Structure formats: C-alpha cells, structure tokens
C-alpha cells in the first residue's frame, strides 16, 4: 500500500479547526490546546493522518466501516443515484425504488417476524423514532398509560434528547437535564465491574432480575418497553453472561412489554450473524440500525419493526406524526444496498462467524497474560480488555491517573486505534480484516500495554 503524499499542512488545519470547528464529544479546552489529529485518507483497515502516519483502525471508524475503507463501488452507486434521482422524500404517499428495494432487502435479513423498516439519518434518530413508535403503538392499543421505557445504566442509544435519555450515561444526563420523563434505568450486566463475588452465571441472573423488579415497582400496566444493546458497545463492550438474555426473555414473556434491541453496533455482521438478536436468539419488536447499514460511507439509519407492531399501525390507521427530510434518502439507500450486496458477495458475515472472528478472539485472549490485564473478552469482531493495577481482586488504578486514556494515546502513536472507556480498552475492527492484520493489531496492542507499564513505573 503506497504511503500518501504529504500535501497537508497539519498546523494550518489545526489552526482553522480551533477557530471554527466545534467537535462532537470533545473537551474543547484540551482539544484547542492539543490540536486535532487530521485524518486525510483511508484504505482497507488503515487510516492515514496529515503527518503521513499509517494507523490500523481497530475501531472501524466509530464501529461503522464494516466493509472497510476504499470500496469504490459504493462511490459509484452514489454517483449514479445522484444523477438519476438525488433526492425525493417518502412523505405524502411518495416513495422511490432505492428505499423500497432496501427495505425489502433488510426485511429478508432480519428475523422472520420483522418485515417493515422506517428509515432515519442516524442511530440517534432511530432511537428517537423508537420512542415515538412505542408510545404510538400503546396509544393505538388503547393503553396510553403504558408509557415508561426501561433502559440500562451505561447503555448508549445516541445523543439526541430521546437517545441520550434512553441511554444510561450519567455525564450525558447531568449536562442535558435528562432523562426526559417516562424513562427508567436498571443496572447493566457488567460482571467484571459489578459482579462482586458472584460467578458470571449467577450475576447474569441477578442483573436480569433487575428488570423484573423494575416492572413490579413501576407496574406492568405502565411499562411500555425494554431497550438494550445485545452487547453494550460504548459502555465498554459489555458482553452479558450466558444466563442474562435467556432470563430476560423469560421475564419479557411473562409481561406485556415490547422489546427494543439496539442493533446500531451489532447489526450487519459484527457478531457473526446479521444481527445480534439472531446471535442471542431474541425476538425484538424494534431493531434500531445505522452504522454498518452503509458501513459509514453515508449517513443512514432505520428501525426494523415487528409484524405485531406494524400490523397495529396498519389496522388502526391514523397518521404517525413523525419523519425526517432524509428518511430513506435515495443516495444513502443506494449506498446501503451496495454495501449489503458486497457484504454478501464477500461472505463477510460467515467470515466473522467461522474464520476471522474466532481467529481474533483466540489471539486477543493471549493478551490476558499481561500484568496489566485483568480480563479479556470478546465476541465476533468485538473485544475488550480490562486494565488493572492488580489482577487478584480486580483492583483498578486510581481513576485520576486515566490509565485507559494513556493506553489509548500510546496505541494511536504506535499505529493502532483502540478506544478507552475508563480503563477498559476496546476494539471493533472492519470485517474485511485479514489474519495478518489481526496479528499486527495484537502485536501493537501488546506493545501499548508494555509501554504503558513502563511509563507507570
Ligand atoms: N445506538 C448505539 C448502540 C450506538 O452505539 C450508537 C452510536 O455509537 C447510537 C445508537 C447512536 O448512533 P449515531 O451516532 O449514528 O446517532
């Protein structure tokens, strides 16, 4: 792979950035002091910065470039669609072929009882849509008092007002005066951090029982839905113990409550199935999607809806007062279709399930022998490791040291993007990653841990 020409002036870009560009999820003071890393090009699993550094993108952008960078056919279909029909909406009884065909193709991939898709521009918009749909559904069923949605501490469902409210990120709530009314959070199934002396299996049951308790406290007649990611991504790749989802399923089966499974990260192959719901054997009423839908090449999201919910919308009628200018955008829909076609053609879901997923997991596990690592875990192409001061007793470093942040910065300087959630390091590489590239990732991750240990001495 050719190194790119240094046609960029990093300092001048940083200066302009500082003067005009307010970044998302950033501390603007320290960003202005340090300057942003300018990413100028990408190909395969690699990105390049404006100083010519080639970096393995262990996070697939923001968990989204499932197909990897540099897939020219996605650019070509966007070009063709812009020339044919660059924009039209689906309001007021209109539609266009790209959105119609995409909806059909998504329905074919989804669990059999889910056959309708509502399109949005992002994962956050998808979760705003879910909140509106859940309440619309119960209104149509004549049960408007079924209003409360139960989410989980540390869950992430986006950054819009409803998305951030459904999520359980405390700092987001504190800044935004959130959550909005009618949202309740229960503890997360995070054994390493919160499992205490229980075995993972015991803890899984206990964490699931929190849902039963919340339903009892609030009253089944007031609870509309439960929302969760199959695996909590932004919360630190929290993979529930094996006992968790089966117990949640039992609880939901007892009560008349809708299930929302947020597939924004797990969707489109990351677990080795098309959707995380299929991996865990779940039967959701709603699956918010985004990210892997277009592999991040263009913004698009959606909500896949079960027949029981869509059926009520159809039977009862009455306008659903909700939608976005860019719902089902034809160019985004064309790109999504090509992305899905490529994932199928390359057999990437099977590749994650049978080949590169197991290969990555086996290699990732070897990092567990490092003195700084308290636990490794992973599934498909998602993985995490817990950085600890002492393995015995799962003892963390003082949070003021920000050891996770140190690791992340060291890793990027050494040519690997990993993300830190507190002292949890996480990866979610593109699904086209090869075995050699996995080996490179693991070597760089180990080097990161070694260098961090050195600097802690
Ligand atoms: N839901 C989940 C599970 C996510 O991980 C994210 C983003 O990381 C979102 C929703 C929000 O998606 P977006 O950033 O596209 O609004």
Give the 3-state DSSP-derived string for 169-184, with helices as H, strands as E and coil as C. CHHHHHHHCCCCCCEE
Could you give the CA distance from residue 383 to residue 24 in angstroms, rounded to a whole number? 24
Q: Is the pTM of this model over 0.90?
A: yes
For a pocket test of ligand 1, which of 62, 124, 298, 426 has the largest count of ligand atoms closer than 8 A to its C-beta? 124
Listed in order, strand segments (DSSP E) in 153-306 are 183-186, 223-228, 258-261, 286-289, 301-306
Q: Atom of ligand 1 at shortest distance to CA of 301?
A: 15
pLDDT digits (tens, 9 = 90+) for 62-89: 999 999 999 999 999 999 999 999 999 9
CB within 6 Å of ligand 1 — which residues?
A: 62, 122-124, 127, 156-158, 229, 233-234, 262, 264-265, 290
ipTM reported for the complex, 2 dp: 0.99
CA of 317 to the centre of ligand 1 (A): 30
Sheet containing 424-427: order of strands: 373-379, 382-387, 424-427, 419-421
Q: Using one digit for the tens of pLDDT, what is the confidence trace for 236-279?
A: 999 999 999 999 999 999 999 999 999 999 999 999 999 999 99
pLDDT at 114 over 70: yes
* pLDDT at residue 4 greater than cutoff 60: no
Type and span of the H or E element at 359: helix 356-365
Give the pLDDT confidence of 173-190 residue by residue, as tens digits: 999 899 999 999 999 999
pLDDT digits (tens, 9 = 90+) for 325-383: 999 999 999 999 999 999 999 999 999 999 999 999 999 999 999 999 999 999 999 99
> What DSSP character marks residue 11?
H
User: Measured in angstroms, how far is the CA atom of residue 58 from the centroid of ligand 1?
Assistant: 18
Question: 146: burial class by Cβ within 10 Å (0-12, 13-18, 19+)?
Answer: buried
Q: Which residue, by CA, sits nearest to atom 10 of ligand 1? A: 157
Work out the pLDDT band at 170, boundaries 50, 70, 90. Answer: very high
394 φψ region: left (φ > 0), alpha (ψ -120 to 50), beta (else)? left
Q: Residue 41 pairs with which residues in a beta bridge?
A: 48
Taking the C-alpha atoms of residue 420 and residue 201, their distance in angstroms, rounded to an integer, is 26
- Provide the pLDDT confidence category of residue 7 given band limits of 50, 70 and 90: confident
Average pLDDT in the chain = 97
CA of 123 to the centre of ligand 1 (A): 4
Rounded distance between C-alpha atoms, residue 224 and residue 135, angstroms = 7
Does pLDDT of 5 surpass 90? no
Distance 253 CA to ligand 1 centre (A): 27
Q: Are 155 and 188 in contact (CB under 8 A)?
A: yes
Mean pLDDT of 37-52: 97
């Amino acid at each position: 792979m050719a190194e790119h020409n240094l046609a960029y002036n990093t300092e001048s870009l940083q200066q302009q950035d500082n003067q005009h560009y307010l970044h998302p999820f950033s501390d603007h003071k320290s960003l202005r002091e340090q300057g942003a890393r300018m990413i100028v090009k990408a190909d395969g699993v690699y990105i390049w910065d404006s100083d010519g550094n080639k970096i393995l993108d262990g996070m697939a952008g923001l968990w989204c470039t499932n197909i990897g960078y540099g897939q020219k056919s996605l650019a070509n279909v966007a070009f063709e669609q812009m020339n044919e029909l660059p924009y039209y909406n689906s309001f007021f009884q209109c539609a266009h072929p790209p959105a119609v065909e995409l909806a059909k193709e998504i329905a074919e991939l989804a669990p059999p009882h889910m056959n309708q898709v509502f399109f949005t521009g992002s994962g956050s918009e998808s979760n705003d849509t879910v909140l509106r749909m859940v309440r619309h559904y119960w209104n149509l069923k004549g049960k408007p008092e079924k209003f409360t949605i139960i989410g989980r501490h540390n869950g992430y469902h986006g950054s819009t007002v409803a998305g951030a409210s459904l999520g359980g990120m405390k700092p987001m709530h504190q800044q935004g005066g959130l959550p909005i009314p009618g949202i309740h959070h229960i503890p997360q199934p995070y054994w390493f951090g919160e499992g205490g002396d229980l075995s993972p299996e015991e803890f899984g049951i206990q964490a699931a029982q929190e849902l039963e308790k919340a339903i009892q406290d609030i009253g089944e007649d007031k609870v509309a839905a439960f929302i969760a990611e199959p695996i909590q991504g932004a919360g630190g790749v929290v993979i529930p113990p094996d006992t968790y989802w089966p117990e949640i399923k039992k609880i939901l089966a007892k009560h008349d409550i809708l299930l929302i499974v947020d597939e924004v990260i797990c969707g489109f192959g990351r677990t080795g199935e098309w959707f995380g719901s299929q991996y865990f054997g779940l039967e959701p009423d709603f699956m918010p999607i985004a990210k892997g839908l277009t592999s991040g090449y263009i913004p698009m999201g959606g909500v896949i809806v079960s027949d029981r919910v869509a059926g009520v919308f159809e039977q009862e009628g009455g306008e659903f007062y909700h939608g976005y200018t860019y719902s089902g955008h034809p160019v985004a829909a064309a790109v999504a279709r090509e992305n899905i076609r490529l994932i199928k053609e390359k057999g990437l879901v099977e590749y994650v399930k049978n080949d590169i997923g197991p290969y990555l997991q086996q290699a990732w596990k070897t990092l567990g022998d490092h003195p700084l690592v308290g636990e490794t875990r992973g599934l498909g192409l998602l993985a995490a490791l817990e950085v600890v001061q002492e393995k015995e007793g799962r003892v963390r470093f003082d949070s003021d040291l920000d050891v996770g942040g140190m690791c992340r910065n060291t890793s990027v300087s050494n040519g690997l993007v990993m993300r830190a959630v507190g002292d949890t390091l996480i990866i979610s590489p593109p699904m086209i990653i090869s075995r050699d590239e996995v080996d490179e990732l693991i070597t760089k991750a180990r080097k990161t841990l070694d260098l961090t240990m050195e600097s802690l001495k």
